[in-house]
Amino acid sequence: MTTTAGTRRLLGPDGLLNTRHHKAALMVFMVVVVGHWAEHLVQAYQIYVLGWPRPQAGGLLGLAFPWLVKSEWLHYGYAIVMLVAFIVLRHGFVGRGRTWWNAAMWIQVWHHFEHLLLLVQAMTGAYLLGKPVPTSIAQLVFPRVELHLFYNAIVFVPMVVAMVLHLRPRPEERALMRCSCVTPAPAAAAA
Amino acid sequence: MTWGGAGPAAGEHHGHLDLGIDIGPVVLRIALLAAVPAVAGFAMLRWALPEPSRRAVAWVVGAAAGAATLELLLSGGLDLREQLVPVLLAALALPMYLALSRDPRFAPRVATARRGAVWVFWPLAVVAVLRLGAAWFGTSPPGRTATELHTGVVLGLVAIAWFGIARPRGRVVTISTRVGAAVLALGLVAGAAQAMVLRPGPPPGLADVQTVDVGGAALDVVVPNPPG
């Protein structure tokens, strides 16, 4: 994928999203992820603090658009957007940050697969192992309500670690960085 | 992502209710009946093929994993503990990693795992063939034929995935493994085809009604069919 003629590619290791616009792209991604978390926290607050029945506890979006949060498409859509962002933005990371980012990406691959499985079940009416309702793989082992909240947590933590390490690189990592997140070395800045 | 906001059942099914589309399971059956022969074809023709590329092996393993996942959706239940299903999926993911791994740091371990893959293939293949045989030769309980077939097919697909990445040492082991895989592949095609055309039972959770002959009179009997 390229931008207009004469400009650089948007994607890939040398693409704008992994070089000049990497910082901006990460910020946009972080806003989306934090917004998602905020919705989950609001929903948890509604259930566990306010004592709302679960059908009414749909977070902030659910108050305005109750049909939206009950749609499988929304859940799958968020999962695929996250996965694409992890894949597209990974080239900007180096060293330890790349390792943590890759870990988050692979966990999200599984999380996405689980949502894909749920989406297919909802579309076809063929439920996993004859269950009466759409069921994800991990539900076979863990009886849970908040399993996917857990999934988001184990994706979010390595993602944040990757970003922190990315913004605080070691000298050898700084030498490899080609994105807009790189800042002058402390010694150079002092000089 | 989860929203437990769908009533009492939300905790059970993740709160996903509305989709607006119901395409039915036919497309899944078609996909399964395309994937299983592709996997089986690789196993049957392996002896006549040159060393497959990394990409070809990944496609075969991926097709086996996809077919096994479709089986989980279409089977209505397997004759296995449910907790083993994630283990089977992990057993399908590992060959994919072994097929695609290029990291020189792990190359020795990958090579060792691929040499030992036949020792994963053989036990799974034997159990799969036994399950298919039980369905065909009447040793499975009445009404369990489809379940035995689905179970045998899933185990057989995992076995073929490991066969795909296997690099056994020795001519005898190599030839016997290829013959075993070819036999299993034939069973897979037959088992998957039969399982797909068997009349499905009522969905779990819905009681079945059957008519029995009692002293010459027809009597409708409600048969419990608990979910899970």
Does residue A6 belong to any structural domain of this protein? no
Name the residue with higher pLDDT: A36 or B149. B149
User: What was the ipTM of the complex prediction?
Assistant: 0.73
Contact across the interface for B19 and A70, Cβ inside 8 Å = no
| The model scores a pTM over 0.90 | no
Q: Smallest Cα–Cα separation from A115: which of A55, A162, A174, A72?
A: A72
Which pLDDT belongs to residue B133?
A: 92
Q: Let me know: does A81 contact A61? Beta carbons within 8 Å.
A: no
pLDDT band at B152 (very low <50, low <70, confident <90, very high): very high
pLDDT band at A5 (very low <50, low <70, confident <90, very high): very low
Partners of residue A66 in chain B, C-beta under 8 Å: 5
Out of B5-19, B62-76, B134-148, pick the least confident. Answer: B5-19
Query: Pairing relation of β-strands B208-214 and B217-223?
Result: antiparallel
- CA–CA separation, B46 vs B189, rounded Å? 16
Contact across the interface for B5 and A43, Cβ inside 8 Å = yes
Domain hosting A140: range is: 12-176
Partners of residue A132 in chain B, C-beta under 8 Å: 12, 203-205, 227
Partners of residue B6 in chain A, C-beta under 8 Å: 54-55, 70
In this structure, the number of other CB atoms found within 10 A of the CB of residue A172 comes to 9
Does residue A17 belong to any structural domain of this protein? yes
Asked if the model's pLDDT at residue B199 lies above 90, the reply is: no
Give the burial string for A100-120 (b: 16+ CB within 10 Å, else e): bbebbbebbebbbbbbebbbb
Looking at the complex, report in whole angstroms how far the Cα of residue A4 sits from the nearest Cα belonging to chain B: 34
- The continuous run of DSSP H or E covering B219 comes out as strand B217-223
Does residue A39 belong to any structural domain of this protein? yes
Nearest to A141 among B1, B73, B83 (CB): B83
Which pLDDT belongs to residue B108?
A: 93
Which pLDDT belongs to residue B11?
A: 37
What sections of chain B are H helices per DSSP? 10-13, 26-45, 54-74, 84-100, 107-116, 118-136, 145-165, 171-197
Which pLDDT belongs to residue B24?
A: 77
Does residue A134 belong to any structural domain of this protein? yes
Q: In this structure, what DSSP letter does residue B211 have?
A: E
Which pLDDT belongs to residue B105?
A: 87
pLDDT band at A139 (very low <50, low <70, confident <90, very high): confident
- Window B:72-91, CB contacts with A under 8 Å: 72-78, 82-83, 85-86, 89
The tally of domains found in chain A comes to 1
Does residue A168 belong to any structural domain of this protein? yes
Percentage of residues in chain B having pLDDT higher than 70: 80
pLDDT band at A163 (very low <50, low <70, confident <90, very high): very high
Looking at the complex, report in whole angstroms how far the Cα of residue A90 sits from the nearest Cα belonging to chain B: 18
Contact across the interface for A43 and B4, Cβ inside 8 Å = yes
Out of A58-72, B77-91, B151-165, B176-190, pick the least confident. Answer: A58-72
Does residue A185 belong to any structural domain of this protein? no
Looking at the complex, report in whole angstroms how far the Cα of residue B16 sits from the nearest Cα belonging to chain A: 5
Percentage of residues in chain B having pLDDT higher than 90: 55
Looking at the complex, report in whole angstroms how far the Cα of residue B53 sits from the nearest Cα belonging to chain A: 24
Helix (H, G, I), strand (E, B) or coil at A49: helix
Query: If you average pLDDT over every residue of chain B, what do you get?
Result: 84
Partners of residue B18 in chain A, C-beta under 8 Å: 67, 70-72
Does residue A108 belong to any structural domain of this protein? yes
Does residue A110 belong to any structural domain of this protein? yes
